[in-house]
Amino acid sequence: MIRDILRMGDPRLLRVSRPVDRLDTPELRALVDDLFDTMHAADGAGLAAPQIGVDLRVVIFGFAADDQRYPDDLVPETVLVNPLIEFIGHDEESDWEGCLSVPGMRGVVPRRRMLRYRGFDAEGRAIDRVASGFHARVVQHECDHLDGVLYPMRMRDLRSFGFNDAFTEQVAVRD
Ligand code: NI
């Protein structure tokens, strides 16, 4: 079911979400189905449960193998429950981000370049991956939602924050 996406300003986006205590339940599968329906309807690259008002540590991101929008920087279609991130090294990269909860806008956000992420899929299978570049950026952006952090709160220079259709330089940014 396609759900309404909360927009920045809604206090529910600022909550620290609760861990999921039981995996492989019909409720968790229904939540994940709703997240995918909602993300696909909005043509997004990722979505976190708090964005549809659900106070649980569940995110989804990525693209099916036949629908990779960034062929140089593959992001597998992923369900991640109770994620844990460990940064690898100290390198940072700045790049454009958008967010379905901040529609029509974009900004340049510094992120760590490389990380390891762990967690579980909806059926309880363990996930343990190393990611860098766009993949690592998406993981950081989505997991931030679980701690009530939206990308503008990570920006260091708000001069790069604005409306997509107002920037004179057009950049492809996926929310
Ligand atoms: Ni977002």
Q: How far apart are CA 118 and CA 136, in angstroms?
A: 12
155 token code pair: 């920006």
**pLDDT at residue 173 in the model:** 73
| 133 CA from centroid of ligand 1 (Å) | 17
- Model confidence pLDDT, tens digit, residues 83-138: 999 999 999 999 999 999 999 999 999 999 999 999 999 999 999 999 999 999 99
Sheet of 126-132, strand order? 46-48, 58-61, 78-87, 114-120, 126-132
| 30 CA from centroid of ligand 1 (Å) | 21
| 50 CA from centroid of ligand 1 (Å) | 10
Q: How far apart are CA 7 and CA 103, in angstroms?
A: 8
- CA-closest candidate to residue 69, choices 31, 93, 39: 39
Band the pLDDT of 72: cuts 50, 70, 90.
low
Q: How far apart are CA 170 and CA 43, in angstroms?
A: 18
Q: How far apart are CA 14 and CA 51, in angstroms?
A: 10
- CA-closest candidate to residue 62, choices 127, 173, 136: 136
Q: How far apart are CA 73 and CA 162, in angstroms?
A: 25
| 101 CA from centroid of ligand 1 (Å) | 6
| 97 CA from centroid of ligand 1 (Å) | 9
Rounded average pLDDT over 137-147: 98
**pLDDT at residue 68 in the model:** 62
- Phi and psi at residue 104, in whole multiples of 5°? 80, 0
153 within 8 A of 140, measured Cβ to Cβ:
no
| 66 CA from centroid of ligand 1 (Å) | 23
The catalytic site residues sit at 142
CB count within 10 Å of CB 65 equals 9
